[in-house]
């Protein structure tokens, strides 16, 4: 595994984290660096070759060892292969293409000279090519491969080419010949330290120097329980009490791979620079990073009281566009700038905000508290509890519904209504009796007057 940010995922106590982790690990096809294939950037000196130093010393696990070309070797290659054996010539000289130590195909010197590609070229000892790749080749082909021969006695290194047949039939050192490129009037045997030219193809693309564009689209999702705690006010007077809880989650990163690969890139896994680390994404562009943080909260509390608190978090998705530099990553920490991309798309899924839920109400400071009643239900995904509503204010009706008055209250109300009805009937009867008496008195007065 490389040093470039192999993010280690660990399950959290909360089931949500485990579910999100599973989402991040779907269809992972990212490459793991082959520990049998090694790349080094420092060539062996003639003095080391003369002493017959084993190139595998110091790393005995390397089955295939590739050494990148020096600046002078690149200049010599361009001078000889592109001028003396340029694209106008009929003959083509081949080199092998390796990715992660596996044979991927072959290319010709004309591809390099025409500027079609700018490959990372390296040398692999002839015997390693013979042992690991010769059996994959068709023995009926008639090709010539580019190599270099180093003569220790003459202290000279020259580009040469050898036959495909010599490689696949394992020609002995006495009959093997690597013919010098320049004049082709000299040749070297296997005892002259023959190396074969190869191209190392990148394992991944690394997106670095990321700059986010102003456009962003944010949408919120369900809420989840982060932690539980208790606030205590041991003082003899009411005061504001503050607390905090630590919580962790996996921030999911989802890069829209179609916005990356449509810019003349092969479909390789991606390394994404984010939050001070380099994340390895799978072939769907999904990865994640562990986040550890704190949530702070507080409320005004009566003297010598305590309240239980559940801290819940709101998940949010941030969709953004970005520009970045694309680097080819070859393994063993070797990378090279390829080009720039514009308006790539990425989505971050993270806990964006938190809020406390106080389980015990404060009778004297209801309006100053942020209380939520869920009728004893747990804080789970809201879509699984559709009848649950969360309000940032104190719900008085809900509280009195959940805490009714003692049992005598209905009887008291009913009795009061009965007494009121009786009193009303008595008053109505008295008014009728008085009205009849008044009518009789008026009638007598009228009769006497007549």
Q: What is the pLDDT of residue 10?
A: 30
Name the residue with higher pLDDT: 199 or 24.
199
Q: What is the pLDDT of residue 441?
A: 67
Give the C-alpha separation, 345 to 319, whole Å: 7
Specify which residues 98 forms β-bridges with.
103, 200
Q: What are phi and psi of 138, to 5 degrees?
A: -80, 120
Q: How does DSSP assign 402-441, residue by residue?
A: HSPPPTHHHHHHHHHHHHHHHHHHHHHHHHHHHHHHHHHH
Cα 178 off chain centre by: 49
Q: What are phi and psi of 419, to 5 degrees?
A: -60, -40
Q: What is the pLDDT of residue 50?
A: 59
- 224 neighbors 14 (Cβ within 8 angstroms): yes
In terms of DSSP H, where are the helices of 169-313?
Answer: 258-261
Q: What is the pLDDT of residue 37?
A: 92
Please compute the mean of the pLDDT values over residues 297-319 and round it to a whole number.
Answer: 94
pLDDT band at 60 (very low <50, low <70, confident <90, very high): low
Q: What is the pLDDT of residue 314?
A: 95
Q: What is the pLDDT of residue 407?
A: 52
Residue for token pair 């109505």: 428
Query: How does DSSP classify residue 444?
Result: H
Please compute the mean of the pLDDT values over residues 202-227 and round it to a whole number.
Answer: 92
Please compute the mean of the pLDDT values over residues 78-85 and round it to a whole number.
Answer: 82
Q: What are phi and psi of 304, to 5 degrees?
A: 50, 50
Q: Which of 86-90, 284-288, 425-429 has the highest mean pLDDT?
A: 284-288
Q: What is the pLDDT of residue 332?
A: 84
* 7 has a pLDDT exceeding 50: no
Which residues, 6 or more positions from 367, have their beta carbon under 8 angstroms from its beta carbon? 394
Q: What is the pLDDT of residue 262?
A: 82
Query: How does DSSP classify residue 83?
Result: I
Which residues, 6 or more positions from 16, have their beta carbon under 8 angstroms from its beta carbon? 224, 249
Looking at the chain, the domain(s) classified CATH 2.170.15.10 span 204-402
Q: Which helix (H) or strand (E) holds 16?
A: helix 15-24
Give the C-alpha separation, 258 to 244, whole Å: 42
204-402: CATH topology: 2.170.15
- In what order do the strands lie in the sheet containing 270-274? 277-280, 270-274, 204-233, 305-331, 334-358, 239-255, 286-301
* 374 has a pLDDT exceeding 50: no
pLDDT in tens, 146-204: 999 988 787 888 999 999 999 999 888 888 999 998 777 789 998 888 999 999 999 99
Q: What is the pLDDT of residue 324?
A: 95
The whole-chain average pLDDT of the chain stands at 78
* 267 has a pLDDT exceeding 60: yes
pLDDT band at 82 (very low <50, low <70, confident <90, very high): confident
Q: What is the pLDDT of residue 9?
A: 30
β-pair type (64-68, 37-40) = parallel
Give the C-alpha separation, 128 to 120, whole Å: 19
Please compute the mean of the pLDDT values over residues 16-32 and round it to a whole number.
Answer: 43
pLDDT band at 347 (very low <50, low <70, confident <90, very high): very high
* 134 has a pLDDT exceeding 80: yes
Residue for token pair 């009789």: 440
With a pLDDT cut of 90, the percent of the chain lying above it is 46
Q: What is the pLDDT of residue 321?
A: 96
Please compute the mean of the pLDDT values over residues 108-120 and round it to a whole number.
Answer: 85
- 335 neighbors 328 (Cβ within 8 angstroms): yes
Query: 85-89, 104-108, 209-213, 297-301: which range is least confident on average?
Result: 85-89
Query: 41-55, 239-253, 387-401, 426-440: which range is least confident on average?
Result: 387-401
pLDDT in tens, 218-259: 999 999 999 999 999 999 999 999 999 999 999 999 999 999
* 129 has a pLDDT exceeding 50: yes
* 94 has a pLDDT exceeding 80: yes
* 55 has a pLDDT exceeding 80: no
* 311 has a pLDDT exceeding 60: yes
* 442 has a pLDDT exceeding 80: no
Q: What is the pLDDT of residue 445?
A: 58
Query: 30-34, 119-123, 126-130, 386-390: which range is least confident on average?
Result: 386-390
pLDDT band at 107 (very low <50, low <70, confident <90, very high): very high
Beta strands in 269-405 (DSSP E): 270-274, 277-280, 286-301, 305-331, 334-358
């Amino acid at each position: 595994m490389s040093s470039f940010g192999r993010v280690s995922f660990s399950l959290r106590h909360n089931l949500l984290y485990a579910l999100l982790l599973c989402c991040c690990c779907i269809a992972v096809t990212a490459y793991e660096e082959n520990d049998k294939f090694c790349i080094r950037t420092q060539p062996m000196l003639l003095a080391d070759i003369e002493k017959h130093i084993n190139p595998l010393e110091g790393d005995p696990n390397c089955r295939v060892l590739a050494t990148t070309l020096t600046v002078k070797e690149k200049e010599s290659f361009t001078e000889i292969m592109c001028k003396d054996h340029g694209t106008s010539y009929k003959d083509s000289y081949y080199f092998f293409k390796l990715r992660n130590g596996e044979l991927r195909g072959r290319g010709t010197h004309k591809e390099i000279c025409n500027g079609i590609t700018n490959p990372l070229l390296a040398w692999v000892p002839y015997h390693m090519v013979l042992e690991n790749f010769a059996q994959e080749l068709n023995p009926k082909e008639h090709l010539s491969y580019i190599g270099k021969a180093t003569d220790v006695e003459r202290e000279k290194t020259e580009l040469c080419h050898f036959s495909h047949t010599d490689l696949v039939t394992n020609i002995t050192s006495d009959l093997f010949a690597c013919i010098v490129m320049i004049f082709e009037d000299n040749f070297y045997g296997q005892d002259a330290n023959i190396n074969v030219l190869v191209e190392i193809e990148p394992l991944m693309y690394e997106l670095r120097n990321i700059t986010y564009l102003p456009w962003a689209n944010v949408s919120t999702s369900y809420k989840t329980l982060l932690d539980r705690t208790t606030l205590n006010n041991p003082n003899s007077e009411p005061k504001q009490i503050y607390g905090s809880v630590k919580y962790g989650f996996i921030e999911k990163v989802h890069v829209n791979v179609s916005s990356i690969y449509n810019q003349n890139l092969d479909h390789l896994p991606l390394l994404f620079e984010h939050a001070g680390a380099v994340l390895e994404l799978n072939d769907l562009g999904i990865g994640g990073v562990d986040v550890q943080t704190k949530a702070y909260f507080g409320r005004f509390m009566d003297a010598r009281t305590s309240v239980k608190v559940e801290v819940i978090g709101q998940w949010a998705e941030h969709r953004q566009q970005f520009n970045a530099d694309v680097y080819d990553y070859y393994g063993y920490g070797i990378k090279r700038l390829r080009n720039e991309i514009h308006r790539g798309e990425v989505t971050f899924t993270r806990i964006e905000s938190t809020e406390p839920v106080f389980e015990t109400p404060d009778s004297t400071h209801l309006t100053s508290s942020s209380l939520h009643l869920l009728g004893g239900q747990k804080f789970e995904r809201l879509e699984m509890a559709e009848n649950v509503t969360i309000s940032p204010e104190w719900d008085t009706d809900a509280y009195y519904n959940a805490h009714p008055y003692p049992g005598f209250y209905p009887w008291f109300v009913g009795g009061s209504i009965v007494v009121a009805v009786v009193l009303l009937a008595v008053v109505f009867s008295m008014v009728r009796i008085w009205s009849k008496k008044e009518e009789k008195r008026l009638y007598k007065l009228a009769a006497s007057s007549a």
